[in-house]
């Protein structure tokens, strides 16, 4: 069965496109067939060369309907639809067709307020902290803000995606031949979270056998308790 994941949210620049591509790359590295679907009319399609997933251009509603229909007709694909900021009406449409909805947000209070609004608007959606600080002190402050402002939504917040400058490689038109290992590992970790939620097992692949399952404290908050 094909699953559709939509990455949306009212605020621009939260990391929707980056998260969509990281998720697809991670799914591909774990042996799943994934398609990253562009809907943002102000962006150009990216070449699928070198990626572990295909890219699809659905920048108008007819193309989107066709891509979704095609994906739904295939077996065991995962389609990740990348939304665009400030498009509440389109977000509602994507929410309606998605099996899972992700709302990336950064650590600013403005992002937190916006994602809380979106979590109320889209009751099935999960919030994903993105560009999360690596520095221990900043990380603690960011986690504390989330706990204070978003405590009521705790079971809908996934494990944070750290700030990693190599993520910008995924948004290059052409992916370099070799992806840095930290980027691949982060992509796999995100994909594993989503596979857990979707209750999909990964096919065993020789290069994956060495990787053990996510430890409990690395699980999304939703799954950890």
Ligand X SMILES: Nc1ncnc2c1ncn2[C@@H]1O[C@H](COP(=O)(O)OP(=O)(O)OP(=O)(O)O)[C@@H](O)[C@H]1O
What residues line the site for ligand X (CB under 6 A)?
12-18, 40, 84-85, 130-131, 161, 163-165, 167-168
Residues 200 and 19: their CA atoms lie apart, in Å, by: 19
Q: Are 91 and 10 in contact (CB under 8 A)?
A: yes
**Residue closer to Mg ion, measured from CB, 3 or 21:** 21
Judged by beta carbon distances under 5 to 8 A according to partner kind, the member of Mg ion, ligand X, none in contact with residue 168 is ligand X
- Helix %, strand %, coil % of the chain (to 5): 45, 15, 40
**Residue closer to Mg ion, measured from CB, 17 or 131:** 17
CB of 206 to ligand X, least distance (A): 29
Judged by beta carbon distances under 5 to 8 A according to partner kind, the member of ligand X, Mg ion, none in contact with residue 146 is none
Residues 70 and 207: their CA atoms lie apart, in Å, by: 30
What is the spatial order of strands in the sheet that 77-82 belongs to? Answer: 54-57, 33-38, 77-82, 3-7, 100-105, 126-129
CB of 209 to ligand X, least distance (A): 27
End-to-end Cα spacing for the chain? 28
CB of 153 to ligand X, least distance (A): 20
Tokens (6 digits) for 139: 């990380």
The residue written with tokens 């042996």 in the block is 31
CB of 183 to Mg ion, least distance (A): 18
Which positions from 13 to 52 touch Mg ion by CB under 5 A, shown as an x/- string? ---xx-----------------------------------
User: Which residue ranges make up the site for Mg ion (CB under 5 A)?
Assistant: 16-17
């Amino acid at each position: 069965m094909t699953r559709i994941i939509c990455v949306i949210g009212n605020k621009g620049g939260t990391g929707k496109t980056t998260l969509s591509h990281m998720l697809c790359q991670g799914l591909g590295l774990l042996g799943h067939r994934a398609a990253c679907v562009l809907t943002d009319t102000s962006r150009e399609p990216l070449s699928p060369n070198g990626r572990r997933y295909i890219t699809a251009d659905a920048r108008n509603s007819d193309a989107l309907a066709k891509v979704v229909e095609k994906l739904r007709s295939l077996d065991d694909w995962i389609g990740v639809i990348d939304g665009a900021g400030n498009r509440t009406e389109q977000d509602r449409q994507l929410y309606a067709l998605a099996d899972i909805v992700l709302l990336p947000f950064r650590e600013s209070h403005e992002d937190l307020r916006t994602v809380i609004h979106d979590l109320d608007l889209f009751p099935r959606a999960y919030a994903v902290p993105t560009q999360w600080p690596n520095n221990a002190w900043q990380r603690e402050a960011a986690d504390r803000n989330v706990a204070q402002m978003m405590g009521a939504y705790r079971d809908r917040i996934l494990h944070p995606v750290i700030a990693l400058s190599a993520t910008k490689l995924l948004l290059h038109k052409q992916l370099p031949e070799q992806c840095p290992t930290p980027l691949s590992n982060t992509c796999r970790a995100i994909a594993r979270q989503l596979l857990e939620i979707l209750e999909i097992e990964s096919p065993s692949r020789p290069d994956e056998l060495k990787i053990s399952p996510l430890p409990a404290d690395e699980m999304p908050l939703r799954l950890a308790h």
